[in-house]
Amino acid sequence: MKRFRSLLFPMLIATSARAAAPELTLVIRDHLFFPSTLEVPAGQKVRILIDNQDPTPEEFESYPLNREKVIPGNTKTVVFIGPLEPGEYPFFGEFYPKTAQGKVVVK
Amino acid sequence: MFLVAVILILQEILEAALLLSVLLAVNQQMGPHLAGTRKLTLHWYAAAIVTGIFGAALFAWAMPTVSEWFDYAGQEVINALMHLVVIGGLYTHCLLLQTNARQTPGPHIGAGVALIVVITLSITREGAEIFLYINGIMGTPTAVTPALLGAGLAGGIGISAGILLYYSLVGFSRVVTLRIGLVLLALFAGNMAAQTILLLTQADWMPYTPQLWDTTGLLTEYSVTGQLLYALIGYEATPSLAQAVSYVAAMLLLASTPLFRQSWR
C-alpha cells in the first residue's frame, strides 16, 4: 500500500505542478557550491538557478536526482528537480569534484 | 586532476565508441548476406567521426548562448532534439539497409547518410563537454598536463573498449552477430528516448512522472559496470514511468523494420 501511495502521490502533484515552482539559487565560486546544502520542501517541484561565477565551466551532476547539466564559465542556468520524498540527495561538480560537493535536503 | 579527466572523458567517449562498434559490426556482417550489395566502406565512418568532432567543437563554442535559450532550457531542448534525430537516423539506417538490399545493388547512399548523422550527433553531444572541460582547464597551467594525459588515457580506454566490443561481436557466427548487434541498436534507441525524456523533465518541458523502481542496491550507476551498461544500453537505477515507456517505444520502432525479421540464413 505504501508503495502504491508513493506512486500515486507524485502523480497527483504532477497535474498541478505547472504552477510557479519555488526557486532557489546555487552559486558556484572557486569550484565550491554556495550554499552547499539546499533545503527543499518535500513533494514539490523546485527550480534551481545555478550561477557559475567562476571563469571555468562546471557540470552539475547528481545520481540520486538524475540530473546532469553543464554550466559554462560566468553564465547562469536552471535545473528543475522534484517532486521528491524526504531525504538527502547529494550532488557534485563533475569538473571539480574534489571541492564542488553539496546536497539537497528534502524535508 | 588526472583521474577526474580520465573518468569524465571516458564517460563521454564510451557511448559513441560502443555505438560505432555495433554499427560497424552489423554493417560488416550484413554485406556478404545481401547479394549484389556493397558494404559501407570505412570512409563513411571516418567522415562521421570528423564531422562529429567539428560538431562537438561548434556545440561547445555555442554552449554559453544555447544555454540561455528558452529561459535556460536551451541546452536540454537542443540535446533532446539531437537524441530524437539519432533515433530517427538509426531507424532510417536499418530501414534503408534492407530496402536497398532488396532492390538495387550498389553502395547504400541513404543508409550511409543516416549512419553519418547518427555518429556525428552522438559525438557532438558528448564531445562538446570534453571541449568545454579542456578549454576550462587551459586557464590553470599546472592542471593542463595531467588533464591532457588523462584525456589521452581515457581516449585509449574508450577506443579499446570499442575495438573489444567489435571483435567480440564479429567473433560469433554471422547470424548471431547480426541478432545481437540489432538488439543492441534497438536498446540504444531506447536509451536515447529515455534520455530525451529525462532532459525535457529536467527543463520542465515535460511533467514529472513517478519513479518505477530503484535498483541502486543491485547496481549503482556510478560503478564501472553501471557506467558501461549506461553507455551501451542506457542503464538507469531509478527510471521514471515516462522514461520506461519511451524506452520500450523506441525499441519497438527499431524492431519494426524488416531487418529484424530476417532469418539471416
Q: To the nearest 10°, report the CA torsion of B197, B14, B221, A53.
A: -70
Task: Supply the CATH number for residue B173's domain.
Answer: 1.20.1250
Range of the domain at B229: 2-261
The pLDDT of residue B105 is above 80: no
Question: Where do we find the cell 551532476?
Answer: A61
- Which residue among A72, A80, A96 sits closest to B203, beta carbon to beta carbon? A80
Q: Which residues of A touch B237 (CB under 8 A)?
A: 63
Is the CB of B67 less than 8 angstroms away from the CB of A80?
no
Which of these, B211, B208, B165, lies nearest to B188 by C-alpha position? B165
* The pLDDT value given to residue A99: 95
Distance CA B118, CA B84 (A): 10
Distance CA B132, CA B12 (A): 12
Q: What's the alpha-carbon Rg for chain A, to the nearest Å?
A: 15
* The pLDDT value given to residue A5: 47
HSE, side-chain direction, 13 A CA sphere, residue B85: 18
Q: Which residues of B touch A15 (CB under 8 A)?
A: 207
Distance to chain A for B87, nearest Cα, Å: 21
* The pLDDT value given to residue B17: 95
Q: Compute the average pLDDT of residues B220-224.
A: 90
Tally of domains within chain B: 1
Domains by residue range for chain A, with CATH: 2-106 (2.60.40.420)
pLDDT digits (tens, 9 = 90+) for B17-70: 999 999 999 988 876 555 445 567 788 899 999 999 999 999 999 999 999 999
Pick the residue with more confidence: B211 or A3?
Answer: B211
Confidence tier at B260 by pLDDT (50, 70, 90): confident
Q: Is B41 helix (H, G, I), strand (E, B) or coil?
A: coil
Q: ω before A35 within 30° of 0 (cis)?
A: yes
What is the helix (H) or strand (E) element at residue B43, kind and residue range? helix B42-72
| Distance set, CA B156 to CA B132, B151, B232 (Å) | 20, 9, 18
Complex prediction ipTM: 0.89
Is the CB of B139 less than 8 angstroms away from the CB of A95?
no
DSSP B205: S
Tens of pLDDT, residue by residue, chain A (107 residues): 444 445 544 444 444 444 578 999 999 999 999 999 999 999 999 999 999 999 999 999 999 999 999 999 999 999 999 899 999 999 999 999 999 999 999 99
Residue A83 dihedral angles phi and psi, to the nearest 5°:
-65, 140
pLDDT digits (tens, 9 = 90+) for B128-143: 999 999 999 998 889 9
Closest chain B residue to A7 measured between Cα atoms? B210
What b/e readout covers B136-157, taking b as 16+ CB neighbours within 10 angstroms? Answer: bbeeeeebeebbeebbebbbeb
In this predicted structure, which of A75-79, B82-86, B173-177 has the lowest mean pLDDT?
B173-177
Q: Which residues of B touch A60 (CB under 8 A)?
A: none
Q: Is A60 helix (H, G, I), strand (E, B) or coil?
A: strand
State percent of chain B over pLDDT 70.
92
* The pLDDT value given to residue B43: 87
* The pLDDT value given to residue A16: 44
Does any CB of chain A come closer than 8 Å to the CB of residue B135? yes
Q: Strand A46-52 vs strand A76-81: parallel, antiparallel, or unpaired?
A: antiparallel
State percent of chain B over pLDDT 90.
75
